[in-house]
Structure 1
Amino acid sequence: MSLSSPVQFHFLEGAHLLTQRTHLKSFISSLFKREKKRLAGIHYIFCSDDYLLEINRQHLKHDYYTDIITFDLSDPGKPTNAEIYISVDRVRDNARQFKTSLRNELHRVIFHGALHLCGYKDKKPKDQAIMRKMEEKYLALYFK
Structure 2
Amino acid sequence: MAKINFFTEDIQYTLKHKTKIRNWVGATITAEGYQLEELNFILCSDEYLLRINQDFLQHDDYTDVITFDHSEALKTIAGDIFISLERIKENAANFKLKPIDELCRVMIDGTLHLLGYKDKTKAAKTLMTAKEDFYLAQRDL
Q: Please give the secondary structure, in 1, of the residue aligned with 2:138.
A: helix
TM-score by length of 1: 0.90
Tell me the equivalent position of 2:16. Answer: 19
Question: Structure 1 residue 137: deviation in Å?
Answer: 0.8
Unaligned runs of 5+ in 2: none
Q: Which runs of 4+ in 1 moved over 3 A?
A: none
Deviations 1:24-58 (A, max 9, x none): 11211111100001110001100000000000000
Structure 1, unaligned runs of 5 or more: none
- Counterpart pick for 2:31 among 14, 30, 34: 34
**Deviation of 1:105 (Å):** 0.4
Which structure has more relative contact order (CA 8 Å, sep 6+)? It is 2
- SS of 2:67's partner is strand
- Partner residue in 2 for 1:51: 48
CA RMSD for the aligned pairs? 1.6
Which secondary structure does the structure 1 equivalent of 2:41 belong to?
A: strand
Deviations along 1:60-112, one digit per CA (max 9) or x if unpaired, are: 00000000000001114362210110000011111112222211101000111
Identical counterparts, % of pairs: 37
Using structure 2 for the length normalisation, give the TM-score. 0.92
Paired residue total: 140
Per the alignment, residue 137 of structure 1 pairs with: 134
